[in-house]
Chains A and B, each alone.
Chain A
Amino acid sequence: MLAYVVRSIMQGLIVMLAVAFIAFSMFRFVGDPVVNMLGQEATLQDRAELTERLGLNDPVPLQFGRFLMNAVQFDFGISYRQGRKVSSLIAERLPATVELAVLSAIFALVIGIGLGVFAAIRRDSWLAHVVMTVSLIGVSLPTFLIGIGLIYIFAVELRWLPSFGRGETVKIGWWSTGLLTTSGLKSLIMPVVTLGFLQLTLIMRLVRSEMLEVMRSDFVRFARARGVSERNIEFRHALRNTMIPVITIAGLQLGGVIAFAIVTETVFQWPGLGALFVNAVQFVDIPVMSAYLFFVAAVFVLTSLMVDMIYLALDPRLKSGPGAK
């Protein structure tokens, strides 16, 4: 048991190291930060000096080692773009992304499960067919198109919702939240729908097919035979058995939500980590880029660790074999 946990953690660490290294070696190809940092009047000598001062002339392994040493202490240095500590930049942007990601995950889960159950129970009703077809269109629509379409309809034509940003935010300690103001809540609607839509359709389809499977299983037949009411079977037995894979997959999708936040945040000018990353890529702000990738890797390792733990709790057979499902 303990050995399994330790092994999971070790594997997680190796993953983080690998991600960090790939990310780090990639940065050399994104462009030259020095060009952006110096104005257009800079001379060749100015550029050479700054390159030297930033340590960009050192061999890559040395740069990587230095980066790792600092990263372990959560010290990612100073942003080339904004001249601010990267750790405080990340802390400042984190609430926006977390609120967006968590709300869209909840949105996707609640609506997705609801519609999935409906589509499974009323499998042959016309509404279920409509829901399934719409969900397929949803899977076929790229996220960025959904966002742009929503802005066009609800911000420009109808003027119901703001087209960008978080609206007014309230500070609670270092955390800034948009959940306590009307404008903050209004601003959340379109980004949450955009980001959650894809997950919603996936969860819905998953719930439907799992539920159909369970409904055909022997124990449901026995329950029926015992005279348990249909409603009871559907919600007490079938749904509960459906939830385990759904929750696991939804957990694993958290990484996907964060990655797609890049697109959503760009479209809605959402001041979160994804937008920070996109701006950093354009400016070749290496400290911010590495910190972001480190963050994503950490989120991934933590979620997959959590999923492993859940499996462990659910399925004691796993105590010896890693990776098996």
Chain B
Amino acid sequence: MNQNVPPPPTTGAPAGRLARAWDSDLAYSFRTSPVAVFAAVLALVMVMSAIAAPLIAPYDPFDPASLDLMDGFTRPMQPNEISGKVFWLGSDGQGRDIFSAILYGSRVSLLVGAASVIFSLVLGVGLGLVAGYVGGRTEALIMRVADIQLSFPAILVALLVFGVARGLIPPAAQEQATLWVLVVAIGLSNWAQYARTVRGSTLVEKNKVYVDAARLIGLKAMPVMLRHVLPNVMGPVLVIATINLALAIIEEATLSFLGVGMPPTQPSLGTLIRFGQQFLFSGEWWILFFPALALVLLALAINLLGDWLRDALNPKLR
């Protein structure tokens, strides 16, 4: 999923001490924005319940031995005809509790999303720093690759990575490895925005006097720059990361929908939707509806936060 989120403005407060004041501004803007508070609460609830899934979930949907097939297709809040068990949000075709599956599923979705964002963030920031600092051919190469990445469909990148990984990993280990393959696949398709932002900021800093001065007194320029560049790009990078987290979660869902995502025994929200989709016409609407709702709410909450963060960090828009 290759949305060009409009590059967040790099013009913020300069750096250093100001960052602290910034933060308090941020806190103020947060308190006064009901949308932001709502989104934050929603996101927090969903993330916390995903993390605490083993404690909250009434059933363990990952333990196939505990499932009873005869519990399959139980309607929400209604006791199963045979076992009499009640599932809050109903059960799927395998007798799996939808509520527990959503809790565990959002755990997988969030894990894939967060890990891939960290992956692309580290990669993108690193490459951006190098490009901005080293310049020349290296810079041209990195930025060209970033351009390609930005305009090449992320889904195709992910499919390619997935295909190659499947060939390289022995079949027995594939089920366990799928999650990390997804992380790399999605991460690799989203790093370019970070690289662009960081490179721009690095270019600005590179020509400042203090860098020359540091070099003159024998300090390595890179660590000095890191200290100045990093705080400067924190804001924009945070915005990109937030929006990318929502994107990564949806991208994972799309990959799972196309059948190359998480295996059925370890479902993410996308896998749950893929299963539920076949029951759209047959009346078992809850199998599709609740996981889809969870996915949309999760993505929406994160997007709202990202949106607010971007506006809040852009002084011109205040």
Listed in ascending order, the chain A residues whose CB lies under 8 Å from chain B are 11, 15, 22-23, 25-26, 28-30, 136-137, 139-145, 148, 152, 156, 198, 202, 205-206, 209-210, 212-213, 216, 245, 249, 252-253, 255-256, 258-260, 262-263, 293, 296, 300, 303-304, 307, 322-325
Contacts and interface: CB of A to CB of B under 8 A. Distances in A.
B6 A304 contact: no
Given A212-B317, A249-B4, A255 B151 contact: yes
A57 to B, nearest CB: 17
Nearest to B254: A142
Contacts of A259: 2, 153-156
A142 B253 contact: yes
Given A198-B3, A213-B316, A28 B148 contact: no
Nearest to A141: B296
B119 interface: no
Interface string B140-162: 10011001101111111000100
Contacts of A253: 2, 4, 151
B258 interface: yes
A22 B164 contact: yes
A144 B257 contact: yes
A213 B8 CA distance: 12
A323 B299 contact: no
Contact of B153 (A29, A156, A256): A256
Contacts of B139: 323
A116 to B, nearest CB: 11
Main secondary structure of the interface of B (DSSP, over half): helix
A interface: dominant SS: helix
Contacts of B167: 26, 28-29
Contact of A323 (B1, B140, B153): B140
B303 interface: yes
A137 B280 contact: no
Contacts of A139: 3, 246, 299, 303
A171 to B, nearest CB: 30
Interface of B: 1-6, 139-140, 143-144, 147-148, 150-156, 160, 163-164, 166-167, 196, 246, 250, 253-254, 257-258, 270, 273, 277, 280-281, 292, 295-296, 299-300, 303-304, 307, 316-317
Contacts of A296: 153, 156
Given A136-B304, A139-B246, 15 more contacts: A11-B144, A25-B164, A29-B167, A136-B300, A137-B300, A139-B303, A142-B257, A202-B3, A245-B6, A252-B151, A256-B1, A260-B155, A263-B258, A303-B151, A307-B151
A142 B251 CA distance: 8
Contacts of A136: 300, 303-304, 307
Contacts of B270: 142
Contacts of B151: 252-253, 255-256, 300, 303-304, 307
B316 to A, nearest CB: 6
Given A148-B277, A259-B153, A22 B160 contact: yes
Contacts of B295: 140, 142
23 contacts: A29-B166, A139-B246, A139-B303, A140-B300, A142-B257, A143-B254, A145-B273, A156-B281, A198-B3, A206-B4, A206-B6, A213-B316, A213-B317, A259-B2, A259-B156, A263-B254, A263-B257, A296-B153, A303-B151, A304-B147, A304-B151, A323-B143, A323-B147
Nearest to B258: A263
A80 to B, nearest CB: 18
A306 to B, nearest CB: 11
Contacts of A28: 167
Nearest to B252: A142
Nearest to A139: B303
Nearest to A25: B164
Contacts of A15: 148
Contact of B4 (A23, A152, A202, A210): A202
A28 B164 CA distance: 9
A25 to B, nearest CB: 7
A26 B6 contact: no
Contacts of A144: 254, 257, 277
A209 B152 contact: no
Nearest to B153: A259
